[in-house]
Amino acid sequence: MNNLTSRSTAAGQGCRAAAADRLRHFGVSVTRPRVAIMEYLMEHHVHPTVEQVYSALSPEYPSLSRTTVYNTMKMLAEHGAVTLLTIDDRNLNIDENTTPHAHLYCTRCHRIHDLPLQGVSPLQASYAFTLDGHLIQQVHQYYKGVCRECQTDLNKEPLLTNKQ
Amino acid sequence: MNNLTSRSTAAGQGCRAAAADRLRHFGVSVTRPRVAIMEYLMEHHVHPTVEQVYSALSPEYPSLSRTTVYNTMKMLAEHGAVTLLTIDDRNLNIDENTTPHAHLYCTRCHRIHDLPLQGVSPLQASYAFTLDGHLIQQVHQYYKGVCRECQTDLNKEPLLTNKQ
DNA sequence: ACTTTATTTTGGAATAATTGTAAATTTCCT
DNA sequence: AGGAAATTTACAATTATTCCAAAATAAAGT
Ligand SMILES: [Mn+2]
Ligand SMILES: [Mn+2]
Ligand SMILES: [Zn+2]
Ligand SMILES: [Zn+2]
C-alpha cells in the first residue's frame, strides 16, 4: 500500500510494469533493454524507426546498443508482439499495435498513419488462412499519398522530413 | 513486306519495338538502355530486383550500369510505367504490371506472386481518391506467408532463395 | 553534314541501414 | 556464491542504394 518506499515501481514516467507484462505475455524473458524498448513502443504508437527508438532511449540508457534494438525488434516480431513495416524504402518502421489495420504512407512527411483495413475484417486477418493454395500468415495493406496535414501546408513550407 | 533485309527489326528474340512504344506511351524518350530494360521487364513479369535486371542484361550490354537501372526504374515509376514494391526488406522489386493487384510474398522462397485486390476494385484503385482527408495515390496490398509450391516441398529440400 | 547544347549514361566512390562477431555482462539455477 | 546459458555490447563487415563528375549520346540549330 505504501509505495513511497519503492520509488522505481511507482514514480517512473512511463509504466515499465506494463511493458514487462506485455513481454511475459508474448513469452519472452524480461530484461532491462527489452523493457526499455517495449515501454517506449507502448508510449509512442507512431511507427518509429529503429534509429528513433535507439536515439530516444540512448540518453537515459547510454550503454544501449543499436544492435540490441534491431535484435529485439526482430525477436518481438517473431513472437507476434510487434509488426515490422517495410513501407518506407529507406528504413523499417515498428508497429506495436498488432491488431490488423491499414496504413497511409505520406510521401511528403514520410509519416505513417493508421487506417482501417479494407475487404478483410481485423479478426479474420489475425489468423492464418489459405488463399489460392497459399498459406497466408499476415495481411499488409497501405496507401501512398499525401496526408491531411501535409495537404494544407502544401504551398507554405517546402517539405519536412520526419527523420533528422 | 520483305523483312529478311532488316534483321534487327524482325529476328530479335524479344520485341524491342513494343518496348519502345511503351516508353513513348508513358512520355519518356527512347534510349538504348531504356529499351533494353523495358524489354526485359515486359518479357519477365516476375517482379525482378534491380540486380536481376542488371545481371540479366549485362552480358549482351556490357556497358550497362547498375546506376542506370536504378535511375531508369525510379523514372519509370514516376511516369507510372512500373510500380516499385518494398515488400521484401532486402531489396526492391519491380512490377511492370501497373494494373492494381495484390501480392503474396513467400517467406520461404522470397518470390512474389500476383493475387487479386481485396475490398477495392482495380479500376477504383487506379485513380487518386480521398480517404479520411488524406489524398490516396496508390493502393498496396500484400500477404506474407508460404506459397503453394513451397508448401509441398516443405519437408523435402531445406530452403532455396531465389536470389544468387 | 557539322556545331552547339541539352540529356543521358557510366563507373567508381560515398552513404547508410542492417547484420555478423566475439567478448563482456547479466540472468538464472543449484 | 559459482557456473552454465542467455543476452547485450561495441565495432567491424556487408550490401543495397545514392551521389557525382566525366564521357557518351541524342537533339536542335546552321
Ligand atoms: Mn499502425
Ligand atoms: Mn505483381
Ligand atoms: Zn504528411
Ligand atoms: Zn515459396
Alpha carbon distance B104, B142 (integer Å): 6
B143 in helix, strand or coil?
Answer: strand
**What residue ranges define each of the domains in chain A, with the CATH number in brackets?**
1-84 (1.10.10.10), 99-164 (3.30.1490)
Number of helices followed by number of strands (H, E) in chain B = 7, 6
Instruction: Give chain B's mean pLDDT.
Output: 87
Q: How confident is the model at residue B16 (pLDDT cuts 50, 70, 90)?
A: confident
User: Which residue stretches of chain A have pLDDT < 50?
Assistant: 1-12, 158, 160-164
Query: What number is the average pLDDT over the span B43-59?
Result: 94
State the pLDDT at residue A45. Answer: 77
Nearest chain A residue (CA) to B107? A137
Q: Which of B87, B137, B145 sits opposite A135 (nearest CB)?
A: B145
Furthest-apart CA atoms within chain A: distance in Å: 60
Q: Determine, for residues A128 and B145 on separate chains, whether the beta-carbon distance falls below 8 Å.
A: yes
> Helical H runs in B5-145?
7-10, 16-25, 32-43, 50-57, 66-78, 122-125
Look at residue B104 and give its three-state secondary structure: strand
Give the predicted TM-score (pTM) of the model. 0.87
- Residue B142 alpha carbon to ligand 3 centre in Å: 23
Q: What radius of gyration do chain B's Cα atoms show?
A: 18
**A144 closest CB neighbour out of B107, B140, B146:** B140
pLDDT for the residue numbered A17: 87
Rama region for B163: left / alpha / beta (φ>0; ψ in -120 to 50; rest): beta
pLDDT surpassing 90 at residue B5: no
Interfacial B residues in 22-81 facing A (CB < 8 Å) = none
Q: Closest nucleotide (CA of B63 to C1')? A: C10
Contact A140 B145 (CB under 8 A): no
Q: Are B47 and B53 in contact (CB under 8 A)?
A: no
Residues B80-107: tens digit of each pLDDT: 999 999 999 999 999 999 999 999 999 9
Residues linked to residue A112 through DSSP beta bridges, in sequence order? A105
Total number of residues shown for chain B = 164
Provide, in whole angstroms, the distance separating residue B67's CA from nucleotide C14's C1': 14
Query: pLDDT tens digits, residue range A43-80?
Result: 987 899 999 999 999 999 999 999 999 999 999 999 99
Q: Which residue has the cell 482501417?
A: A116
